[in-house]
Amino acid sequence: MAKRKRKGGRAGLGDPSEPPVRAGLVGPRRTVPAAIGRPPYALTGEPGPSTSNVCRTAAEIDAMRRAGRAAAEVLTIAGSLVAPGVTTDAIDARVHDEIVARNGYPSPLNYRGFPKSVCTSINEVICHGIPDTRQLRDGDIINIDVTVFLDGVHGDTSCTFFVGEVDDLSAMLVRETRQSLYKAIDTVRPGAPFNAIGRAIEDHASKHRLGVVRDFIGHGVGTEFHSNLQIPHYFHPRLTQQMEPTMSFTIEPMLTLGAIDCVIWDDDWTAVTTDGRRTAQFEHTMVVTTDGVELMTVTESGACAADMHAG
């Protein structure tokens, strides 16, 4: 299945996840009603170069609250489906239907040709797992990454869920990955350098002997799914650009029990750890405010799927 391999890694914790994740059958692309607004790439699959401003207007921020709220609601529903025997394709079907019911478009659908409406990444899959016929197994962990395009903007969020009873190392990995996200969010304020985000994540990960994936990073988001802002989850000494009010972006740390490098499957999407050890991810979309940060990807009450792993 491997297409390319990057060298490097670390000794890590525990053994490779067994049995390894194997691809199932991928069903046909789901359709979206014609009346629902679409991002520019929906037809061609190509988003083109980023041209949007890294800062948002007041109207765009209002729209991002709506898109983010929809994404948070859908992610929570998706998490409620997670159980042994459930297929990731069934999760994709429910996510698709819930987004469409909110008059949204599933942002991953046909983005650079991605064939499904949500990303489902199990165990050693770092990110971009394609939903298929594989059934979830007791003891798995699964990241579900939901993005909703609504009213001209995107809301992007993810959470790693337990499938039944998981081992202690997997539970620790998920718990501390979530914690690293919130420690990073605590650094977001006007005037703070962007590398404070990566420092917070890397410092927390190192305390727990966890690796920080470098191949995939957070990004600007708003009117574009991925805009020019790049948010490494590791400390980058030269990333001294300061945060400004109304900047919008994601933070989405991916931590591992072992190697931080990846192999990409022949599907050109699924990224797995080179040593087969497990990995977890959590993600929020946010906007810098005049005195701190506002999370976009929460429900009207301020809740989110990550609250399921508050311990």
Mean pLDDT in residue range 275-279: 98
Query: What pLDDT is recorded for position 307?
Result: 87
* Model pLDDT for residues 94-128, shown as the tens digit of each residue: 999 999 999 999 999 999 999 999 999 999 999 99
**CA pair distance 56, 88, nearest whole angstrom:** 34
- Residue 130 to residue 106: CA distance in whole angstroms: 14
Residue 10 has pLDDT above 80, yes or no: no
Strand 271-273 relative to strand 284-288: parallel, antiparallel, unpaired?
unpaired
Closest by Cα among 169, 171, 146 to 221: 146
DSSP H helices, the chain, are 58-81, 88-101, 168-185, 195-207
Res 3 pLDDT > 70: no
DSSP 133: S
CA dist., res. 52 & res. 222, Å (int) = 8
Give the integer Cα–Cα distance in Å for 289 and 136. 40
With CA atoms as reference, report the closest residue to 178 among 160, 191, 165, 163. Answer: 160
Question: Which pLDDT tens digit goes with each residue over 159-200?
Answer: 999 999 999 999 999 999 999 999 999 999 999 999 999 999
Cα atoms in the 13 Å half-sphere on the side-chain side of 198: 21
Fill in the amino acid letter for 50. S
Going by C-alpha positions, the residue among 250, 311, 257 that lies closest to residue 282 is 250
Q: Binning pLDDT at 50, 70 and 90, where does residue 6 land?
A: very low
Say whether 84 sits in a helix, a strand or coil.
coil
Q: Match domain 54-309 to its CATH number in 3.10.310.30, 3.90.230.10, 3.30.43.10, 3.40.50.1970.
A: 3.90.230.10
Mean pLDDT rounded to a whole number for the chain: 95
Q: What angle do CA 64, 67, 73 make, to 5 degrees?
A: 135
Contact between 159 and 51 under an 8 Å Cβ cutoff? The reply is no
**How far is Cα 222 from Cα 233, in angstroms, rounded to an integer?**
20
| Both tokens assigned to 251 | 């933070």
Supply the pLDDT for residue 309: 58
**Amino acid symbol at 71:** A
> CA–CA separation, 169 vs 152, rounded Å?
41
**What does the DSSP 8-state code read for residue 193?**
B
User: What does pTM read for this prediction?
Assistant: 0.95
